[in-house]
A and B are shown apart, each in its own frame.
Chain A
Amino acid sequence: MTEFLLLLISTAVVNNVILVKFLGLCPFLGVSKKIDAAIGMGLATTFVLTLASVATWMLDHWLLVPLDLGYLRIVGFIVVIAAAVQFVEMAIKKSSPQLYQVLGIYLPLITTNCAVLGVALLNVQNGADFLHATLYGFGSATGFTLVLILFAGIRERLALAAVPKAFAGAPISLITAGLLSLAFMGFSGLNLT
């Protein structure tokens, strides 16, 4: 039990996908202007990432490895992820048209979110078993959501600050992202065992 809790903390905070591994930067900068949109995006990505971790693990262990089809791994994973995203998109369109509007193009773009494919491939690389792969996917997604929401909070505040003209908009957001990453470096080398 403790081991799983530590694994969750380690993947969500210490080895955060966005701030430490630098994966999934497009939605991090694209959907972080409003907290509501960030929460929606975070939940959608969490669902896709966890589902994709499970599905790609099954695909890898039950099909690709036994049949020695390792060279199809990336293509196969992308197909599985795309299917998961389509499923989420249909579900959100039916259940919350408003969120569907807010997320816009970024929802189908979860397909190309490198964090999703990255976590699936890292699972293969680390030789994770089923439970660890699932937890790793869920932990990474939690970290992604957490950072996305925190960043959106700061950006909502930045919209009201008198930022010098040359730095308004994207530049100050990138500088803030850098300082965020700096803050998370405090967790580096954290040894909880």
Chain B
Amino acid sequence: MLTSPFVRKPASVQSVMLTVLLALLPGVAAYVWHFGAGILVQMLIATLAGLATEWAVLRLRGKPTSLFLSDLSAVVTAWLIALAFPPLVPWWITALASFLAIGIVKHLYGGLGQNPFNPAMAAYCLMIVSYPALMSQWPAAGQLDFATQWHLIVGGARDLDAITGATPLDALRTALREAASPSSPNHALTASALMDGPAFGLAGGRGWEWVALGYLAGGLLLLRRGIITWHIPGAYLGALAAIALLMWGLRPDHFASPLFHLVSGASMLGAFFILTDPVSGATTPRGKLFFAAGAALMTLMIRDFGAYPDGVAFATLIMNLCVPLIDMKTQPAVFGHKQD
């Protein structure tokens, strides 16, 4: 019953985290619709492992367990891990990633609100560096039934070459690099012509574009609720589109279109849910713009020239490193003082 405009409902960590979880749901729904319920199993594994780690570390550090467990921050980290990872990795990869994210990257730095790196993305980088083959197996839309998915997740034999492949990002990059050689039958074809296969949909990978749309819807909810500001998603998606447009405009036979970059990989998840982490991201309004634009540049650099399937996780870590300097250089003037 808030009747006066100046009375504000205090936002607790718990309510903010709950809204973030709700905002993830449209994306999760699209994910389940196109790729099956395996992702729900992964989210459950990640959540259990995350909460168990959180509980154990809190006990070790002598902090109140119920207070910090119920703030749901561990669940958000766990969900981001499950959603960023390939949905068919064996259960122990998801569990190990949740343990590393919360035990090492979050709690060794002092826990909630003090970690300089995004826990979920640091765990993703650790895992893709350690298990590159397992972390690169992505299913195509509607390909596997739940029984097969379950079998793979609990660690069944993985004869995956026949049923899973690279991400749309990876597939297009490989196709473009092949087409660059004069002996290839696809020589000098543009990216849009190469995207004529069954793995690709209207704008990005088949199915993935709808998941990205779900994240966008959730992200707009977060914006509407005032949990995030427009600076980071706006600057990230804007810079991503602008740089991709420039490269695509100059060499359409070398680079993918901006729309493809916007709806592929973890672009949308990154823009609204990962880079907007208030702890490891930049905090000043101007700093947020630099932070997000830098992340967009790094993402494209790793996607177009690098060796990894997606660049969002590494871009996040690299920009996390720069946050102290960005914040220092973009501090707004104190009210009443001169801007120097």
Binding site for B on A (CB under 8 A): 35, 149-150, 153-154, 156-158, 161-164, 167, 172, 175-176, 179-180, 182-192
A186 touches B311 (CB 8 A): yes
Contact check, A164 vs B306: say whether CB atoms are below 8 A apart: no
Is chain A's interface secondary structure helix, strand, loop, or mixed overall?
A: helix
**Docked pose: A102 CA to B253 CA in angstroms:** 53
Cβ of B117 < 8 Å from any Cβ of A? yes
The contact of A186 among B117, B126, B298, B323, by CB within 8 Å, is B298
A183 touching B317 by the CB < 8 A rule?
yes
- The answer on a CB contact under 8 Å between A191 and B305 is yes
Contacts of A185 on B, CB cut-off 8 Å? 125, 129, 314
A150 to B306, CA, bound (A): 22
Interface residues of B in 309-325 (CB under 8 A from A): 311, 313-315, 317-318, 320-325
Query: For the side of the interface on B, what is the size category?
Result: 35 or more
State in angstroms the CA–CA spacing of A35 and B326 once bound together: 13
- Selected contact of B105 from candidates A35, A179, A190, CB within 8 Å: A179
Q: Which residue of A lies closest to B116 (CB)?
A: A154
Cβ-defined contact, B325 with A150, below 8 A = yes
Compute how far the CA of A91 lies from the CA of B291 in the bound complex, rounded to whole angstroms: 37
Q: List 26 A-B contacts (CB under 8 A).
A: A35-B328, A149-B325, A153-B322, A153-B325, A154-B116, A154-B321, A157-B116, A158-B109, A158-B116, A161-B109, A162-B111, A163-B108, A163-B109, A164-B61, A164-B110, A175-B108, A182-B129, A183-B117, A183-B314, A183-B317, A183-B321, A184-B318, A187-B302, A188-B306, A190-B306, A191-B307
Q: Mark B106-140, 1 if CB is under 8 A from A, else 0.
A: 01111100101100001001100100000000000
Cβ–Cβ < 8 Å partners of B110 in chain A: 161-164
Contacts known (A149-B325, A150-B322, A153-B324); A186 close to B314, Cβ less than 8 A: yes
- Chain A residues contacting B307 (CB-CB under 8 Å) are 188-191
A172 and B325 within 8 A (CB):
no
* Any A CB within 8 A of the CB of B223: no
- Chain A to chain B: the 6 pairs with minimum beta-carbon distance, closest first: A186-B314, A189-B307, A153-B324, A183-B317, A162-B110, A161-B114
Nearest-neighbor residue (CB-CB) of B129 within chain A: A185
Q: A164-B107, A186-B314, A187-B314 are in contact. List 8 more A-B contacts (CB 8 A).
A: A149-B325, A179-B122, A182-B126, A183-B125, A187-B306, A190-B305, A190-B306, A192-B305
A158 to B105 Cα, complex, angstroms:
13
Verify B108–A153 contact, CB threshold 8 A: no
Mark out the residues of chain B between 64 and 122 whose CB falls within 8 Å of any chain A CB in the assembled complex: 104-105, 107-111, 114, 116-117, 122
Residues of chain B with a CB closer than 8 A to A35's CB: 325, 328
Within 275-333 of B, Cβ neighbours of A (below 8 Å) are at 298, 301-302, 305-308, 311, 313-315, 317-318, 320-325, 328
